[in-house]
Chains A and B, each alone.
Chain A
């Protein structure tokens, strides 16, 4: 039986890559168009790249932010990818100070102290808290493409660390909420494995 997942794209982002990757691992993919879709979803992937302020104001305007927070409270597994992960933090300094969905307590700041930035390319992720998302993937490489990052690697949510000049939070995890700074849909076989790990995380109904 194929597992169902609902996806929300934020920013100018193509749906095909995400849909293609999820279909390849045998998922039944649904598009989220409104708040009611979020509340009925079995699993949610919030993904995209682009600008934090644009994405959060769109989620707020369409009433999706509240619905996402309600879905989190009722135990729906949620995976935020790239900008989608950043939206789950308290806020970001991109284009001013903006407030996020505040599942993870840290603010995104522009990358500095790095050999080169933006952080573009394949880097390894260390599984530091036995996170089920990274099962079988400790120290594997994933594709990153970002210019803001969360640097509090001592926070409780920190589940995966990547080193780029300094350590930063590449994977965040709290209860049923996960965030990855890299793009699993662009990360070859290891990316597909990570997405299927997410699909194996049971939701509140044990599905």
Chain B
């Protein structure tokens, strides 16, 4: 049975680890961070270029290569991916999947072009959403948008846009909810469930987690297929092995890590 996935997000600043991760010998070393989470039982890794600049793309690629060579887990990469050349570079460097965000909103045909060039399973579209007076709307809010002062609401309904993204060939949707980040009381089960019910492609949820129970809730049948977690994991408030123990108690399909010897 297909297991539900726990995906740690590691933020990068010019190829160095920007997330403050407790108890690493070298807190800036992305390979050490990745190995640490592999040991804990991570099912995939999400490397995110949180500080994009003209120089960061090349350094991100180098960091991915080092992780790909040393850690045998799937790698998803995102942050300021705006061209097909960048996707090709990231895949060549060792990424298994590339996450595109605001470029997809600005130019939806980019999704179908990328899927034709690299195949659907390698293209994940990130949707940034928030609950507004007009229902769930789409936002652009990647690091590049913030730099360009284009961090704003787009005139798109969440469900309409998600359906469009699926039609255009995306292999997966990463749904980031600003609403749940603001509340901090767990993932956005409503918005995620809405997409999961309406679409056929897998959904990854991001934003709002704080305790073990949040994972069992968002990864319940009919909601998300994967959950991304970052700060609470980095500060050791959460631990992947503990999260999975609880998921097992809730009868959710979980991959048991064979190196887990604790």
Contact = CB atoms under 8 A, between A and B. Distances in A.
Please indicate whether A and B come from the same complex rather than being unrelated chains.
Answer: yes
Nearest to A95: B116
Contact of A20 (B3, B70, B122, B259): B70
A185 to B, nearest CB: 6
A118 B120 contact: yes
Interface in B218-250: 225-226
Interface string A115-148: 1111111111000000000000000110101110
Interface stretch (A62-70, A71-79, A171-179, A187-195): A187-195
A122 B255 CA distance: 7
A14 B202 contact: no
B65 interface: yes
A161 B155 CA distance: 46
A20 B75 CA distance: 14
Interface string A180-200: 000101111111100000000
**Residue of B68, B118, B120, B202 ringed by the most chain A CB atoms within 10 A:** B68
A190 B72 CA distance: 10
A122 B3 contact: yes
Nearest to A146: B121
A164 B259 contact: no
Interface string A1-43: 0000000000111101101110010000000000000000000
Interface string A160-173: 00011000000000
B74 to A, nearest CB: 5
Q: Per DSSP, are chain B's interface residues mostly helix, strand or loop, or mixed?
A: loop
B88 A12 contact: yes
B109 interface: no
Contacts of B74: 143, 145, 183, 186
B88 A117 contact: no
Contacts of B69: 16-17, 19-20
Contacts of A20: 68-70, 72
B202 A116 contact: yes
Contacts of A50: 118-119, 122
B55 interface: no
Contacts of B94: 14, 16-17
A188 B93 contact: no
A156 interface: no
B95 to A, nearest CB: 8
Contacts of B255: 122, 141
Interface of B: 1-3, 5, 38, 43-44, 65, 68-70, 72-74, 88, 91-97, 118-122, 171-172, 200-202, 225-226, 255-259
29 contacts: A14-B65, A14-B68, A14-B92, A14-B94, A16-B93, A17-B94, A20-B68, A21-B72, A49-B122, A50-B118, A50-B122, A115-B2, A116-B225, A117-B201, A118-B202, A120-B171, A121-B5, A122-B255, A143-B73, A143-B74, A145-B96, A147-B119, A147-B171, A183-B74, A185-B72, A186-B74, A187-B72, A188-B259, A189-B258
Closest 10 CB pairs of A and B: A20-B69, A14-B94, A122-B255, A16-B69, A17-B68, A122-B3, A118-B121, A141-B255, A189-B258, A186-B74
